[in-house]
Amino acid sequence: MAGNFELQGRHGKSGVRVSRVWRRPAAAGGHVIVEWSVAVSVVSDCLPSYTSSDNSAIVATDSIKNTVYVKAKECTEVVSMEEFAVILGRHFTSLYPQVSEATVTIVERPWERVVVDGKPHSHGFKVGVEKHSTEVIVKKSGSLLINSGIQGYSLLKTTQSGFEGFVMDRYRLLPDTRERIVATDVTAWWRYPFEHISQLPSKPFCFTQRYQDVKKVLSETFFGPPDVGVYSPSVQNTLYLMAKEVLTRFPDISSIQLRMPNLHFLPVNLGSKENPLMKFADDVYLPTDEPHGTIEATLSRPMSKL
């Protein structure tokens, strides 16, 4: 309490950019590099700093920033961003008696190993597109929450998509169709089942590999078999099937949230019916990203919530 009021505060450091290189020999897979944007937010018992001039309980945000670099240096073996977030969360909640909770959010800039003459390069990388992200919450009690995700995963099919049978009223202008381009920028968040530090596997769990696995399942379900594809009657149905397949394939994921904006490709039709400039046959389009449809849903196992 602050006087007659209830005060809830937290502080931290955002936008801490850190890159770590592990220089392994080519026979061991070559060098590994990560580039992360780290945000740390702590819940701390430092009420006097808000209500008076007493800053003695504050862990300075500059100190939080410095800790990120020190802990990165201490990771002599390759770690995933989820593991690094847990390391940071445990550090702040164990070292400082006044810190009861730490939330660590990391977004990765995806440096991908290049292939030269069909062989992976030992120390050459290029920037990818979609971004791996995580949010980890660690409490002093050892309580743990790990969410991971993907941002900016752009997927498109030029056929095998339709939308029909939806609400018919005076506001509807869209006709039914069984043939259209479907495109989206997938944002996904999934939750791991570990609820306490003690539940983390003694053998390191490969979060990075699971991220790659989830990304692969999402795209395979969206596109279908490479020779024939799969028909999508709506973005909603495709979203559900993608989420369902992730939970079916990976028992270590307890829930997944998908956000899939419907990015429109509008068939070009120049002129009028009476005086067309040129006849188009659904082969030239105007790509648009605004306005766009917003479709999202969360699929969870029983007793699990994202």
298 is in an annotated binding site: no
Report the residue count for the chain.
306
Query: Does 121 qualify as catalytic in the annotation?
Result: no
DSSP 8-state assignment for residue 231: -
Q: Out of 11, 31, 61, 292, which one is annotated catalytic? A: 61
Tokens read off for 231: 């028909």
- Which phi and psi angles does 206 have, rounded to 5°? -85, 85
Residues 6+ apart with CB under 8 A from 75: 20, 84, 87
163 is in an annotated binding site: yes
User: In whole angstroms, what is the distance from residue 162 CA to residue 262 CA?
Assistant: 12
Which residue from 227, 238, 261, 217 is spatially nearest to 162, judged by alpha carbons?
A: 238
CA gyration radius, the chain: 24
Query: Does 264 qualify as catalytic in the annotation?
Result: yes
Query: Which of left, alpha, beta for 224 (phi over 0: left; psi -120 to 50: alpha)?
Result: left
> Tokens 């994921």 belong to which residue?
253
257 is in an annotated binding site: no
Query: Does 31 qualify as catalytic in the annotation?
Result: no
Q: Out of 13, 91, 132, 157, which one is annotated catalytic? A: 13
Q: Out of 91, 139, 157, 264, which one is annotated catalytic? A: 264
Q: How many CB atoms lie within 10 A of CB 169?
A: 5
SS3 306: coil
62 is in an annotated binding site: yes
User: In whole angstroms, what is the distance from residue 151 CA to residue 70 CA?
Assistant: 28
- Which phi and psi angles does 47 have, rounded to 5°? -50, -45
259 is in an annotated binding site: no
DSSP 8-state assignment for residue 45: -
Q: What is the dihedral of CA 273, 279, 281, 285, to 10 degrees?
A: -90
DSSP 8-state assignment for residue 129: S
114 is in an annotated binding site: no
170 is in an annotated binding site: no
Sign of CA dihedral 229, 244, 136, 196: negative
Binding-site annotation: residue ranges for 5-hydroxyisourate: 61-62, 163, 180, 235-236, 262
The residues that are catalytic are 13, 61, 264
Binding-site annotation: residue ranges: 61-62, 163, 180, 235-236, 262
Binding-site annotation: residue ranges for urate: 61-62, 163, 180, 235-236, 262
